[in-house]
A and B are shown apart, each in its own frame.
Chain A
Amino acid sequence: MDTQSLTLALGDATHAGRTFDVMPIAGEEPVLQVIVSGAEETPVYITVTDTQILCLAYLFDEQELAPERQNELHENMLRISVPMPLSSLGKTGQHYVVYGALSPASGTSEIMQELVTLAENAIDLLQTFEDYLA
Chain B
Amino acid sequence: MRTVLKKILTAMRGGVNELGEAVVDGQGNRILEQELRDSEHELKQAKQELASLMAEAASLARQIRTEQDSATKREDDARKAIAAGQEDLAREVAERIVGHERRASELTQTRELLQQRIVGLKDRVQKAEKQLADYRRELQVVKTNERVLRTTAQIDTNINSQQSSLSTAKETLERIRERQAREEDRQTASATLEKELTGADLDEKLKAAGIDGEQDAIDNVLARLKDSPAQ
Contacts and interface: CB of A to CB of B under 8 A. Distances in A.
B143 A49 contact: yes
A83 interface: no
Nearest to B183: A38
Given A27-B157, A28-B154, A126-B176, A54 B169 contact: no
B140 A51 contact: yes
A80 to B, nearest CB: 16
- SS class of chain B's interface: helix, strand, loop or mixed? helix
Interface string A88-125: 00001111010000000000000000000000000100
Contacts, number: 77
Interface stretch (B79-87, B125-133, B144-152, B199-207): B144-152
Contacts of A127: 173, 176
B179 interface: yes
A93 B18 contact: yes
Contact of B151 (A29, A51, A94, A126): A29
Contacts of A51: 140, 144
B158 A26 contact: yes
Best-buried of B152, B157, B173 by chain A (most CB within 10 Å): B152
Contacts of A40: 175, 179
Contacts of A97: 152
A93 B147 contact: no
B155 interface: yes
A64 B170 contact: yes
Given A49-B144, A92-B148, A27 B169 contact: no
Interface of B: 17-18, 20, 140, 143-144, 147-155, 157-158, 166, 168-170, 172-173, 175-176, 179
Interface of A: 25-29, 31, 33, 40-42, 45, 47, 49, 51-52, 54, 56, 58-61, 64, 92-95, 97, 123, 126-127, 130, 133
4 cross-chain pairs, A with B, having the tightest CB-CB distances, nearest first:
A60-B169, A27-B154, A41-B175, A93-B18
